[in-house]
Structure 1
């Protein structure tokens, strides 16, 4: 091997040693570095090793030396520090849209960004987690395809499914193809959603779909519809309105809330809503944009009598019917 190529290989091998075997708590002395390189059949002299370390430093690698007993050289700064990697591992492990197998693959890649000693800490962190995971292994490719369609201004087609009581996939509408103009990918309630529109021209209607329930996604050679509809579209506001991304009629709803619920209301609907204090000093009214769906009613009922729906009349009627149904199921309370 020519000397120049051999020197490049030696520098790469030395860099890998620093990346995988060292960190601020674990160092390698010069004799240890020489032995490790010789295990890879890379003969090294002490003088040339010092020169190689300096070359890596000049290339931007933060290689430090600790003198004294137990001292040696180590890589002090990395692209990601250990606390950052722990945050990323937590995010991967907590994500429901990632299958267990894909989570493990991603975490192994993240471990490769740390020293082997630090990687063990990431492994211990993973072991404590046992969250529910999606069963759709293809979701990563679906997300990528949808991003591609959005970037290329193309429509997509796909089939959409639910689960039955035997945990089998059941295609909606007998497997009919959905034809959608994709505009936004949103992350809500630990799931990916595609927000787009169906129809053309003035008849475009905003719809959303869970990405992990899609199958046979295809990018079609047709330009997206609904550009005007999405010019001022606010995905965050849309997600706030559509509790749990459930569909239903949209309405501007007036709520009367106990004063202590100001925090939960602002958390749910954002800081742009106006809280109107009532004369009794114990309540406030607020107008919110909401989709009249089961998650919205569940949120309202979760506060018991501390939230009252005042307007519109159809919202009051829908909630009254829900309350009557619940009463019929469980009976009157004496």
Structure 2
């Protein structure tokens, strides 16, 4: 196959990848785009039919329209537009991804859809980004960690903390941490590294956005089974629930009293989930009963909505909330 024909075939494929069921292209339109976009002049219409057939034989899901005169379209893309939308929104709100990196990822995702799909996704109002001015090396760090796990190698990095002047500084005077990395976990718009140090058997976690100068070490990593015990996947998951997501106990049954209303109902449903039982009281209020993991964040949630919900049970949770309320009140006593 001549070089010119090879290039033309590739360009035809690239053009077809911009189509979908509602925006097909016929041979005449493809020839015109080859000329205007790629400076491939003098292409015969009939050759387009051969190129399309060859691409179909190679497994590309290119479909001809029912009337045939409208041409062909790419029936299957890497992702549906709604899937790309979800990924774009997730990236846009990720606090560990810089605005510059988020913009590049967004553009790469848009390249996975049709020309019409790109237009649909870019014409809607964009939400305010949650990305912050974080380390531009986050992408490189993730690549490094993926490779380290794949090659069973340790990683080395420095960790930062916030000083009294609200400045990010190196922890422990720039100490370098050597870690056997076992998992990279996403929680609350941040990535957490889960692993263990050579001189300790316990698992530890580090936030990726606080890490600097991360590299892959030449040292082989200690296998997770040897370090944390048999069935390391379950052990690591339990650690994540207790240490990263702050779960510290078993499921408990919570009862709250509240005045029903659109906002109160929606907030409680989002928090408690679908398995919630409600009974009405004679005073017009409701008592909701549901199960929730006993965690250090549970008190904080009810403090946030203390003006809406009154916790009735369990007694331990009620006492913790009362104690927190008194502590807050003491801070504001003049």
Q: For this structure pair, what is the TM-score category when the shorter chain's length is used for normalisation?
A: 0.7 to 0.9
Give the equivalent residue in structure 2 for 1:119. 118
Q: Secondary structure at the match of 2:229?
A: helix
Deviation of 1:194 (Å) = 0.9
Q: Secondary structure at the match of 1:233?
A: helix
Deviation of 1:216 (Å) = 1.7
Confirm or deny that 1:31 pairs with 2:28.
Answer: yes
Give the equivalent residue in structure 2 for 1:10. 8
Confirm or deny that 1:63 pairs with 2:68.
Answer: no
Change (3 A) 1:60 1:308: same
Confirm or deny that 1:306 pairs with 2:311.
Answer: yes
Give the equivalent residue in structure 2 for 1:214. 211
Change (3 A) 1:148 1:74: closer
Inter-partner Cα distance in structure 2 for 1:30 and 1:223: 56
Deviation of 1:140 (Å) = 1.7
Confirm or deny that 1:131 pairs with 2:129.
Answer: yes
Inter-partner Cα distance in structure 2 for 1:208 and 1:150: 16
Tell me the TM-score normalized by structure 1.
0.74
The farther-off stretch of 251-260 and 149-158 is 251-260
5 Å matches for 1:63-212?
63-65=63-65, 67=67, 71-125=70-124, 127-134=125-132, 135-164=134-163, 168-198=167-197, 200=199, 203-212=200-209
Inter-partner Cα distance in structure 2 for 1:317 and 1:176: 42
Deviation track 1:84-140 (CA, whole Å, cap 9, x = no partner) reads: 222222222232222111111111112212233321222234x52113213122112
Change (3 A) 1:147 1:48: closer
- Specify every segment of 5 or more residues in structure 2 that has no aligned partner in the other structure, as ranges: 259-267, 278-286
Give the equivalent residue in structure 1 for 2:330. 328
Inter-partner Cα distance in structure 1 for 2:198 and 2:294: 24
Deviation track 1:151-188 (CA, whole Å, cap 9, x = no partner) reads: 33333332211335765322222322233332221111
- Specify every segment of 5 or more residues in structure 1 that has no aligned partner in the other structure, as ranges: 276-281
Give the equivalent residue in structure 1 for 2:264. none
Inter-partner Cα distance in structure 2 for 1:47 and 1:283: 70
Change (3 A) 1:296 1:58: same
Deviation track 1:47-69 (CA, whole Å, cap 9, x = no partner) reads: 33322222222222313235388
Give the equivalent residue in structure 2 for 1:241. 242
Change (3 A) 1:307 1:151: farther
Inter-partner Cα distance in structure 2 for 1:307 and 1:208: 35
Change (3 A) 1:131 1:79: closer
How many residue pairs are counted as aligned between the two chains? 305
Q: Secondary structure at the match of 1:78?
A: coil
Tell me the TM-score normalized by structure 2.
0.74
